[in-house]
Amino acid sequence: MKELEERILKEGRALNEDVLKVDSFLNHQVDPELMKKIGQEFANYFANRNINKVITIESSGIAPALATAMCLNVPLVICKKQTSKILTDDFFQTEVKSFTKNSSYELTISKKYLSSDDNVLVIDDFLANGEASKGALRVIEMANAKCAGIGIVIEKSFQPGRKLLDELGIDVYSLARVKKLSEGVTEFFN
């Protein structure tokens, strides 16, 4: 998505070879007009797949996921990041290693909002090692729901996540694919 790439080039900041900050339009301040276009792009790509629910992971996935859910006219369910296990049967839960923090969290979703009737689109802001996406796939599997695909705003293609999800046969649609990061430099795949 050309406009997204231009924003990343203009406002993104590569902290090092691994981490890109896009606080001015996605992760801290959010640009609603850009989110609308992102939502429309995902909705166009995943149209006609009988998606009945969008899921994302708090908190940075929420803005693009809500925009997508609005375009598809389906509910959005936000997976919570709990710090400890919940010891009741009311939730699906799985441990995920955080890319940005040197820690893990329990990806948690209520059984009220995910079931075998669901055909789900997963939306997230970044794809790095694929841990968050794989966690989302695990809770979808726990619920015997189906995953129609994964939409990623910014994929760092040089990190392992993309290959991992391809190997699982998941349809991953990324709006910007970053080939290389180094301090002050961001390169994309065309």
Question: Which residues would be at the binding site for ligand 5GP (CB under 6 A)?
Answer: 19-21, 27, 57, 60, 99-100, 124-133, 161
- The three-point CA angle 108-148-155 to 5° equals 75
3-class DSSP state for residue 155?
strand
Q: Which is nearer to ligand 5GP, 16 or 116 (CB)?
A: 16
> Minimum distance from CB of 177 to ligand 5GP (Å)?
13
For residue 58, give every residue at least 6 positions away whose Cβ sits within 8 Å of its Cβ, in sequence order, or none.
78, 79, 80, 81
> Of the two residues 128 and 148, which places its CB atom closer to ligand 5GP in the complex?
128
Tell me, what DSSP letter sits at residue 74?
-
Over its C-alpha atoms, the chain yields an Rg (Å, rounded) of 16
Residue 68 or 133: the one with the smaller Cβ distance to ligand 5GP is 133
Grouping H, G, I as helix, E, B as strand and the rest as coil, residue 68 is helix
**CA 97 and chain centroid, separation:** 15
Q: How far apart are CA 1 and CA 35, in angstroms?
A: 12
Nearest distance in Å: CB 134, ligand 5GP: 8
- Distance of alpha carbon 181 from alpha carbon 187, whole angstroms: 7
Give the nearer residue to ligand 5GP in terms of CB position, either 88 or 135.
135
Side by side, which strands form the sheet with 119-127?
Answer: 91-97, 104-110, 76-82, 53-57, 119-127, 146-156, 172-182, 185-188
Smaller CB separation from ligand 5GP, 19 or 70:
19
Q: Based on CB atoms, which residue is closest to ligand 5GP, 47 or 180?
A: 180
Tokens of 116: 């075998």
Q: Considering the complex, what minimum distance in angstroms separates the CB of residue 190 from ligand 5GP?
A: 20
Closest approach, Cβ 69 to ligand 5GP, in A, equals 17
Minimum distance, C-beta of residue 163 to ligand 5GP, in the bound complex (Å): 12
